[in-house]
């Protein structure tokens, strides 16, 4: 029996699966359904409830965008699901998987989608900022107004074996979505490489640089091996990746700024109360870089008019 390409069921599945998987790929600024599928698969490798939490949050975020009739092109691109995915995984990493927590995962997905829309309307590049704000709010709420206990599980942490040491750089990719062991991190790197090899290699170099600098600053080896000091740098490097010397220079400066901010923010007690710094160093560093690039461009135009 042949299935018609214009079959309503097939069309509906495609129309929803594309923004769904693109949402996962957008976590690392990619727009590729297969990349997104590999991200989701990597989360299930870490633990089934990480994958389920991310999936539930993404569905919530995408459905919110559909029901509120956000622009179809933006929905298809996955712009209303990637922060939701990060929020969902963050909650399951930090807290016990109780029924009420799953409800908060859904709420987090909805709030992330709404906040993302606000930034798009304001024409401000949000990156993962909606995830950060929503997660901080929910973590504060859970810790102060519920009896949900901290999670006893850790998201695929490294066992500090030889393989984990050799793959410290790819562990930086894993920690973007709270995975610290070799296999998920490697899967995430391969997923990005499949869609954009240059971006993947920039991210790999940035993760290595973050690990090296952190060791030099006295961070513990077993912590560095998990990629905890590389994931923010990975995202910044991907943003500025490209094949020109200008891309290399911008990525290098951005990564150094990101690493510096990461270590600075770790000294602030505020972040401990709301779950951690998450990807805030990446967002702040990237905003500063974009502002400086814009400012340099304006100065260049003024000079050319003289």
Per-residue pLDDT for the chain (306 aa), expressed as one digit of tens each?
Answer: 455 556 765 666 677 899 999 999 999 999 999 999 999 999 999 999 999 999 999 999 999 999 999 999 999 999 999 999 999 999 999 999 999 999 999 999 999 999 999 999 999 999 999 999 999 999 999 999 999 999 875 554 545 555 656 689 999 999 999 998 889 999 999 999 999 999 999 999 999 999 999 999 999 988 899 999 999 999 999 999 999 999 999 999 999 999 999 999 999 888 999 999 999 999 999 999 999 999 988 887 777 766
- Which of these three, 153, 181, 206, is where a domain ends? 153
Q: How far is CA 85 from the centre of its chain?
A: 8
The predicted pLDDT at position 255 comes to: 99
| 290 and 167 share one domain | yes
| 56 and 176 share one domain | no
Token pair 């972040």 is found at 271
- Which of these three, 98, 130, 153, is where a domain ends? 153
Structural contact between residues 222 and 242, judged by C-beta atoms closer than 8 angstroms:
no
| 126 and 168 share one domain | no
Q: Which helix (H) or strand (E) holds 145?
A: helix 129-145
Structural domains counted in the chain? 2
| 224 and 302 share one domain | yes
| 145 and 167 share one domain | no
Please give the model's pTM, rounded to 2 decimal places: 0.93
Residue 258's CATH number = 1.10.3430.10
The whole domain housing 192 covers 156-306
| 75 and 145 share one domain | yes
| 140 and 165 share one domain | no
| 112 and 178 share one domain | no
Structural contact between residues 189 and 204, judged by C-beta atoms closer than 8 angstroms:
yes
| 123 and 83 share one domain | yes
Token pair 């562990």 is found at 171
| 2 and 85 share one domain | yes
Alpha-carbon dihedral 292, 295, 300, 302, rounded to 10 degrees? -170
- Which of these three, 124, 153, 182, is where a domain ends? 153
Structural contact between residues 78 and 59, judged by C-beta atoms closer than 8 angstroms:
no
| 166 and 92 share one domain | no
| 15 and 62 share one domain | yes
Contacts of 36 (CB under 8 A, 6+ apart): 20, 21, 22, 23, 24, 25, 26, 30, 78, 191
């Amino acid at each position: 029996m042949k299935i018609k390409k214009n079959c309503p069921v097939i069309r509906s599945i495609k129309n929803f699966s594309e923004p769904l998987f693109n949402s996962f790929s957008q976590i690392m600024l990619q727009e590729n359904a297969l990349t997104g599928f590999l991200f989701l698969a990597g989360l299930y490798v870490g633990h089934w409830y990480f994958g389920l939490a991310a999936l539930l949050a993404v569905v919530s975020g995408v459905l919110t965008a559909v029901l509120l009739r956000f622009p179809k092109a933006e929905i298809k691109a996955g712009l209303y699901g990637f922060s939701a995915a990060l929020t969902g995984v963050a909650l399951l990493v930090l807290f016990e998987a109780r029924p009420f927590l799953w409800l908060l995962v859904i709420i987090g997905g909805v709030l992330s989608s709404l906040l993302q829309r606000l930034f798009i309307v304001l024409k401000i590049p949000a990156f993962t900022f909606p995830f950060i704000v929503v997660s901080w709010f929910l973590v504060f709420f859970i810790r102060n107004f519920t009896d949900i206990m901290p999670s006893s599980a850790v998201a695929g942490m490294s066992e500090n074996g030889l393989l984990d040491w050799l793959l410290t750089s790819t562990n930086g990719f894993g920690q973007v979505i709270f995975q610290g062991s070799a296999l998920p991190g490697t899967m995430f790197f391969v997923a990005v490489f499949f869609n954009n090899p240059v971006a993947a290699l920039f991210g790999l170099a940035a993760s290595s640089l973050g690990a090296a600098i952190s060791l030099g600053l006295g961070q513990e080896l077993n912590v560095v091996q998990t990629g905890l000091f590389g994931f923010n740098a990975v995202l910044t490097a991907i943003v500025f990746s490209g094949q020109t010397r200008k891309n290399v220079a911008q990525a290098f400066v951005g990564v150094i700024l990101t690493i510096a901010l990461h270590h600075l923010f770790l000294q602030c007690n505020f972040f401990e109360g709301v779950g951690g710094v998450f990807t805030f160093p990446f967002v702040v560093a990237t905003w500063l870089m974009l502002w400086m690039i814009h400012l340099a461009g304006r100065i260049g135009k003024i000079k050319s008019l003289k």
